[in-house]
Structure 1
Amino acid sequence: MRRVLGVIAGLVTGFILVSLLEMLGHLIFPPPDGIEMMNREEIARVMDEIPLGGLISVAIAWFFGTLGAAFVATRVGQDSTMTSAYIIGGIEIGFGIFNFVVIPHPLWLIWTGLAAFVAGAYYGGKMGLWRDPDKVLDKGSDE
């Protein structure tokens, strides 16, 4: 049951992080004038006009969102394995594929996004497994 709660908490965390980071990316790299960001058809129509930095910022948001989601899922779920992180990674990849199907993306962004989901889930899970940073950093001293 705790793992389920951890995954749910992780998904909420990931959604919040991706949303905030994508908003920050839109502030730094504003989308084309007059586009309504909630209209998928409009976004698909102007995808070629979006600045490269704006597209890269989306991939960065996906990575850090998945990283945070996997970390929270592993910690809240008190997981001693990478299972919660892998579940998060699978769900995030599913969300990503849905997004890629609904909105046409450049091929490089699709591959970068998939790599971001996998790497974010892996490293977020590894970070979540660190229970005592002092023990992780301890190189075998006898103290």
Structure 2
Amino acid sequence: MFKSILAVLGGAAVGVFTIGLVQYLGHQWYPTPGNLSLDDTQAVGSYLATAPTGALLLVLLAYALGSWFGGMVGARYAPAKPVVHALAVGLLLMLSGIANLLVIPHPLWFSIVSLLVYLPMAFFGGMMSSRRIP
């Protein structure tokens, strides 16, 4: 039980780190306006409504890669049922994504696609990692 919890939490940590890293790189390509206060959720929401599509696609890529790598780590260190552990990682990341969508208003298409990304990518990461390589 303890190994399962550590596998899922470790996978989620790797997923969050990957999401943060890819979003950091995305901000280098698509910098936010200098006068945008990130503490003001309404201002961030109105910026997201007019944000370049490429910037939002990079955020979706961050979610996909984070779920994939997180699922791989969760499955790799799971004592049994690696794909179930990978899906648990994807579920944790999806719950944090839902919290983000509730706090900051996003475009509708982005909200729908982002919710469809987490679990399948975690599943694929878990399937890739479930083949035990010493």
Counterpart contact for 2:42–2:105, Cα < 8 Å: no
Any unmatched runs of 5+ in structure 1? 134-143
The separation in 2 between residues aligned to 1:12 and 1:39, in whole angstroms, is 26
Alignment of 1:77-88 (within 5 A): 77-88=78-89
Any unmatched runs of 5+ in structure 2? none
CA distance 1:13–1:57, change in 2 (3 Å):
same
TM score, norm. by length of structure 1:
0.84
The separation in 2 between residues aligned to 1:132 and 1:102, in whole angstroms, is 41
1:130 counterpart letter in structure 2: R
**Residue 81 (structure 1) shift:** 3.7
* Residue equivalent to 2:43: 42
**Residue 91 (structure 1) shift:** 1.2
* Residue equivalent to 1:7: 8
* Residue equivalent to 1:123: 124
**Residue 79 (structure 1) shift:** 3.5
Alignment of 1:1-143 (within 5 A): 1-37=2-38, 39-132=40-133
How many residues are aligned here? 133
Q: Tell me which structure has the larger Cα radius of gyration.
A: 1
Give the match's secondary structure for 1:82. Answer: helix
Cα RMSD (Å): 1.7
**Residue 42 (structure 1) shift:** 2.7
The separation in 2 between residues aligned to 1:38 and 1:17, in whole angstroms, is 23
The separation in 2 between residues aligned to 1:131 and 1:38, in whole angstroms, is 44
CA distance 1:36–1:7, change in 2 (3 Å):
same
Give the match's secondary structure for 1:11. Answer: helix
CA distance 1:33–1:50, change in 2 (3 Å):
farther
Counterpart contact for 1:60–1:116, Cα < 8 Å: no
The separation in 1 between residues aligned to 2:70 and 2:84, in whole angstroms, is 13
Give the match's secondary structure for 2:106. Answer: coil
Of all paired residues, the percent bearing the same amino acid is 28
1:97 counterpart letter in structure 2: I
